[in-house]
Structure 1
C-alpha cells in the first residue's frame, strides 16, 4: 500500500473564528479591492472572488469612542466625515466607531444599499472588546460591490432624484 505524500488540509475556520482572527490582526482579509465609482458615490469595495452567505468579509475599523466623545467630534467634523461614525450598543453602553481617519482599511469604504444589500454588520466580541464585522447575507459573486444597509436615517444620498 502506497502512502500519499500530500499535506493534510487545514480545517476551514468558521465565520466567527475568521472574524476573530482578522480583528486580532487588525488587517483586512484577501479577496477584495477598493475602486473609485463616481463623484457621487466616491469609492466602494468589490469582491475579487466569490463569497458564500454567512462568510466573514472584513471589519469596519476605527477608534471606539463613547457617545459623549462622538457628540464632541460631530460638532467639529465636516459633514463628509460624519458619515464614518457608526453607532452601536455593547454591554448596555452606547458606543461609536469613528472611522473618519483614512487608514487603508476597507470597511469604511463600503457603500449603503437600503434595498438590496449583500452584507450586514454585526457587533462581535474579540478578546472582550467590540468589533464591527461585515458578514455576507447572501452569496456574493466575483466583481460584485459589497454593500450594507446603513439603517433608518435620512442620509442625503437616499433622497437623490435620478433623471
Structure 2
C-alpha cells in the first residue's frame, strides 16, 4: 500500500511547533501546540497507509483494535477511503 506522505515532505511543510505530551492512562498521549495557531495555518499531515474504505472497516473490526485506532475515513470523488496511521510516527495521528 502507498504511504501518503514522506517524512521529508512533512518536515519541510510543518510550520507550527508541536509537542507530544502524556494526558492520562485512558487517552494516552496527545499533540499540543507550543504557540497560538492562526486560522488557516497548516499544522501537519495525517500520514499512513492509504486503504479502501472497505479495508479500513476490516482493520477497524480486527485485532488491530488492540493497539489502538488511528484510522481516518473520508470520501473523495464518490469513493470511500481510509488512512491507517497505526504505525506512523507523524503528529497527525494524535490530533
TM-score by length of 1: 0.47
Q: Which runs of 5+ in 2 are unaligned?
A: 1-5
Aligned match for 2:83, one of 94, 97, 100:
97
What is the CA–CA distance in structure 2 between the aligned matches of 1:23 and 1:73, rounded to whole Å? Answer: 24
Q: Which deviations, in whole Å up to 9, do the C-alpha atoms of 1:59-87 show, x marking residues without a partner?
A: 11111100222233234334344521111
Structure with more helix by fraction: 2
Instruction: Summarize the Cα distance change of 1:99–1:68 in structure 2 as closer, same or farther, 3 Å threshold.
Output: same
What is the CA–CA distance in structure 2 between the aligned matches of 1:36 and 1:80, rounded to whole Å? Answer: 19
Larger radius of gyration: 1
Aligned match for 1:79, one of 59, 65, 69:
65
Aligned match for 2:45, one of 38, 59, 65:
59
| Secondary structure in 1 matching 2:32 | strand
TM-score by length of 2: 0.75
Counterparts of 1:12-31 in structure 2, within 5 Å, are 25-27=9-11, 29=14, 30-31=16-17
What is the CA–CA distance in structure 2 between the aligned matches of 1:83 and 1:40, rounded to whole Å? Answer: 13
CA RMSD of aligned residues (A): 2.5
Query: Contact 2:47–2:83 (CA<8 Å) still a contact in 1?
Result: yes
* Residue 37 (structure 1) aligned with residue 46 (structure 2): no
Q: Which deviations, in whole Å up to 9, do the C-alpha atoms of 1:118-157 show, x marking residues without a partner?
A: xxxxxxxxxxxxxxxxxxxxxxxxxxxxxxxxxxxxxxxx
Q: Which deviations, in whole Å up to 9, do the C-alpha atoms of 1:36-63 show, x marking residues without a partner?
A: 1111221011111221112111111111
Q: Which runs of 5+ in 1 are unaligned?
A: 1-21, 111-163
